[in-house]
C-alpha cells in the first residue's frame, strides 16, 4: 500500500483475528520503527514484541482495557531509555515521549500498509508492565501497540473525526 493511502485508511483496531502474522511482516513493521528520526538521533527507544500467550494475558491485565492486547497475535511494547535523553524541548518538556511516538507512528503506518491493524494503549499500570516484562530501572513503558489482522473492516471515516484545516493550521502568526 502506498504511504498516503496508509495515512488515509489507518483506523485504530480493537478486535483481532487469531491468525498469526508472517515473520517478514513483523520484521517490516519493526524496521519502520527502527528507521524513525529522533532528537539528536539518540534513538531512545526499545521495543519488546510480546508473542507468548501467557505473557500477553498478563500484559492485558496490566491495562485498564487490555482485551486487544490479549487478543492480538503480538503486542509491541514501546519503551524509552532515560539515560539516552539528556535534553529538553524549549526548556519545559523532555523529548523522549515524542521520539518514541514518532517511531510508533512509523510502525503503525507500516502495519497499515501490510494489511495489519494496530491501536495505541497508554492507559496501563506501569509497575505491572515492568513486572510482567522484567523491565529494569531507568526504562519507561510509553505505549502498548497490539498488532494483528483486523477482525472486522474499520469504516474509513478518519477525516470525519478530525478538526478542519482552519481550526488547526495558521500562517505567519498564531491567528486564533
Ligand atoms: C498518544 C496516543 C495515546 C492513545 N491512547 C489510547 C488508549 O490508551 N486507549 C485507547 O483505546 N486508544 C488510545 N489512543 C487512540 C485514540 O483514542 C484514538 O486515535 C482517537 O480517539 C481518535 O480516534 P480515531 O482514530 O478512531 O478517529 C491513543 C492515541 C494516541 C495518539
Nearest to 146 by CA among 81, 45, 57: 57
Give the model's pLDDT for residue 153: 67
The answer to whether residue 78 sits within a structural domain is: yes
Expressed in angstroms and rounded, the spacing between residue 21 Cα and the centre of ligand 1 is: 23
The answer to whether residue 174 sits within a structural domain is: no
Interacting residues of 111 by C-beta distance below 8 A, sequence separation 6+: 29, 117, 118, 147
Give the model's pLDDT for residue 155: 56
86 — pLDDT class (breaks 50, 70, 90): low
Whether the pLDDT of residue 158 is over 70: the answer is no
Range of the domain at 128: 3-168
Give the separation between CA 29 and CA 77, rounded to whole angstroms.
13
Count of domains in the chain?
A: 1
Report the CATH number that the domain containing residue 131 is assigned in CATH.
3.40.109.10
Q: How does pLDDT run across 117-140, given as a tens digit for each residue? A: 999 999 999 999 999 999 999 999
Interacting residues of 44 by C-beta distance below 8 A, sequence separation 6+: 38, 80, 81, 82, 84, 85, 96, 99, 100
Between 170 and 11, the higher pLDDT residue: 170
Give the model's pLDDT for residue 82: 83
Expressed in angstroms and rounded, the spacing between residue 120 Cα and the centre of ligand 1 is: 6
The answer to whether residue 93 sits within a structural domain is: yes
Expressed in angstroms and rounded, the spacing between residue 34 Cα and the centre of ligand 1 is: 22
Residues with CB under 6 A from ligand 1: 12, 119-123, 158, 161
Of 64, 77, 103, 120, the residue with max ligand 1 atoms within 8 A of its CB, to mutate for a pocket test, comes to: 120
For the record, the C-alpha cell of 105 comes out as 507512528
What residue's CA is closest to ligand 1, atom 31? 120
| Atom of ligand 1 minimally distant from the CA of 10 | 25
Exposure string (b/e) for 61-96, b if CB count within 10 Å is 16 or more? ebbeebebbbbbbbbbbbbbbeebbeeeeeeeebbb
Q: How does pLDDT run across 92-109, given as a tens digit for each residue? A: 878 888 999 999 999 999
Mean pLDDT of 137-158: 85
The answer to whether residue 176 sits within a structural domain is: no
The answer to whether residue 14 sits within a structural domain is: yes
Count CA within 13 A, CB hemisphere, residue 171: 2
Expressed in angstroms and rounded, the spacing between residue 148 Cα and the centre of ligand 1 is: 17
Expressed in angstroms and rounded, the spacing between residue 39 Cα and the centre of ligand 1 is: 24
What residue's CA is closest to ligand 1, atom 13? 120
Give the model's pLDDT for residue 124: 98
The answer to whether residue 152 sits within a structural domain is: yes
Whether the pLDDT of residue 152 is over 80: the answer is no
Q: How does pLDDT run across 28-83, given as a tens digit for each residue? A: 999 999 999 998 899 999 999 999 999 999 999 999 999 999 999 999 999 999 87
Expressed in angstroms and rounded, the spacing between residue 102 Cα and the centre of ligand 1 is: 15
Amino acid at each position: 500500500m502506498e504511504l498516503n493511502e496508509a495515512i488515509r485508511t489507518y483506523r485504530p483496531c480493537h478486535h483481532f483475528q487469531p491468525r498469526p502474522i508472517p515473520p517478514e511482516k513483523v520484521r517490516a513493521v519493526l524496521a519502520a520503527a527502527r528507521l524513525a528520526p529522533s532528537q539528536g538521533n539518540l534513538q531512545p527507544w526499545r521495543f519488546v514484541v510480546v508473542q507468548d500467550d501467557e505473557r500477553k494475558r498478563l500484559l492485558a491485565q496490566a491495562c485498564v482495557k487490555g482485551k486487544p492486547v490479549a487478543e492480538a497475535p503480538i503486542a509491541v511494547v514501546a519503551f524509552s531509555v532515560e539515560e539516552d535523553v539528556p535534553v529538553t524541548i524549549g526548556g519545559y518538556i523532555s523529548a523522549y515521549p515524542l521520539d518514541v511516538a514518532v517511531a510508533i507512528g512509523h510502525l503503525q503506518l507500516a502495519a497499515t500498509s501490510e494489511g495489519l491493524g494496530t491501536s495505541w494503549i497508554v492507559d496501563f499500570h506501569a509497575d505491572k508492565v515492568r513486572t510482567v516484562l522484567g523491565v529494569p530501572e531507568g526504562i519507561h513503558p510509553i505505549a502498548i501497540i497490539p498488532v494483528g489482522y483486523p477482525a472486522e473492516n474499520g469504516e474509513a471515516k478518519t477525516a470525519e473525526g478530525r478538526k478542519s484545516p482552519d481550526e488547526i493550521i495558521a500562517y505567519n502568526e498564531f491567528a486564533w
